[in-house]
Amino acid sequence: MTVDDTIPMRLRRAYLTMHRVAQAHFAEFGITVDQYVLMSVLAEAEGIIQTQLSERMSSDANTVGAMLKLLEQKNVIRRQPSDRDRRAQRVYLTASGKRLHKKLVRHSSQIHQTLEAALTPRKRQTLLNGLDEITRALQ
Classify residue 29 by burial, with Cβ atoms within 10 Å: 0-12, 13-18, 19+.
middle
pLDDT in tens, 24-74: 999 999 999 999 999 999 999 989 999 999 999 999 999 999 999 999 999
Measure the CA–CA gap between 84 and 63, rounded to whole angstroms: 24
Measure the CA–CA gap between 79 and 21, rounded to whole angstroms: 30
The DSSP code for 76 is S
- The class that CATH gives domain 3-107 is mainly alpha
Question: Where do the domains of the chain lie?
Answer: 3-107
pTM to 2 decimal places: 0.88
Measure the CA–CA gap between 118 and 110, rounded to whole angstroms: 12
pLDDT in tens, 63-119: 999 999 999 999 999 999 878 777 788 999 999 999 999 999 999 999 999 999 999
Q: What share of the chain is helix, strand, coil (3-state, %, to 5)?
A: 70, 10, 20
